[in-house]
Amino acid sequence: MSVRAAVVGLGWAGRELWLPRLTGHADFDVVAAVDPAPAARAAGDAAPDVPVHPTVDALTARAVDLAVVAVPNHLHTEVAARLLRRGISVFLEKPVCLSSAEADTLAAAERDGGATLLAGSAAPHRGDVAALVRLLPELGRIRHVDLSWVRARGIPQAGGWFTQRSKAGGGVLFDLGWHLLDTLASLLGPARFTQVVGATSNDFVGTGAWSAAWRQDGPAAGAAGDVEDTARGFLVRDDGVSVCLGAGWASHEARDVTRIQVAGSAATAELTCTFGFSPNRHPHPRLTLTREGTTTSLPVPDEPIGTEYRRQLDGLAAALADPGRRGRAVGEARTTVRVIEEFYASARRAHERTAVPAHH
């Protein structure tokens, strides 16, 4: 029996990612969509027979099994909690929440409504990441992980909600950084962080010249942006593994590149690829194993762009039917948002120190 799904939010992610993949997937029957903007409601061309409603109040647990929520970040918790309280399970795009307090709200809504919150996380479903995971037993004791996702030009919707802290929670750390932290958890398992040192900068976010033209959303009217476009941090997990984390919406690089290096006591593995949909990408994923001065290239799947999003849907119906999944997404999101909060606090302290004038 198909899962009756509704898509909530018909912006880029809802319209381009989820609506076409859900309508083309055998496990799902798209029965509704929701967006308050009339222009967005008119854009539901991927599923012209699906009724589009202005609010989630039109959705009921009798008619909808799962709501795929792809609204702007600041609405994630409000919309998801409202649906969960109505007994409708939710598949929520990252970031799941923007604060520890929002995680508490989601946990209470999930408990009160008896529904299940599932979290979207594309990168761990990539074939090249799975190949890296299979290589980990050869590395011995894992000591360090270096993760980075740096775009050449890729600020999303410059001047729009993505670059406004009040609506996005933050900048590239909440966007690309959340993907990297999810990937880290999929590699090594979930863990808390005992040390977090971070630095942020915003050299590119103020100009539309560095926007993500491939998103086809162009610069938006409004504020130039008050979030970071680059974040660099050093973290230590409670299992002793150290982590370097780097995320950039824009840089002076030629291509948008994602790199993951895992260093162990016996060998080091490195994956070079490009997460996401940018056409300005590393041409083919490359996976290497280095041991005692010798580097070997290993076979790695070269999949069509976006395969990881369809693959998330492959296991979604089973996850929805598993009562053990209830509470898990909120718990994982709580760990992720806590490290992001600590990262920003560290970066803020660094900015305050450098802003203080010297005393003579």
Whole-number pLDDT of residue 197:
98
pLDDT 10s digits, 290-307: 999 999 999 999 899 999
**Rg (Cα) of the chain, in Å, rounded?**
20
Measure the CA–CA gap between 165 and 170, rounded to whole angstroms.
Answer: 5
pLDDT in tens, 54-80: 999 999 999 999 999 999 999 999 999
Alpha helices (H) along 202-327:
307-314, 316-320
Residue numbers in the chain where pLDDT is lower than 70: 41-47, 158-159, 208, 213-224, 356-360
| pLDDT for residue 220 | 47
Tokens in use for 39? 């222009």
**Sequence-distant (≥ 6) Cβ neighbours of residue 5 within 8 angstroms:** 22, 28, 29, 30, 31, 64, 65, 66, 67, 68
Query: H-helix or E-strand containing 254?
Result: none
Prior bond of 72 cis (ω within 30°): no
Query: For position 215, what pLDDT does the model report?
Result: 57
Cα distance between residue 176 and residue 156, in whole Å: 11
User: What's the pLDDT at 354?
Assistant: 79
How much is the mean pLDDT over the chain? 91
Q: Give the DSSP per-residue string, 170-211.
A: SSHHHHHHHHHHHHHHHHH----EEEEEEEEE-SSTT-GGGB
**57 closest CA partner among 37, 85, 29:** 85
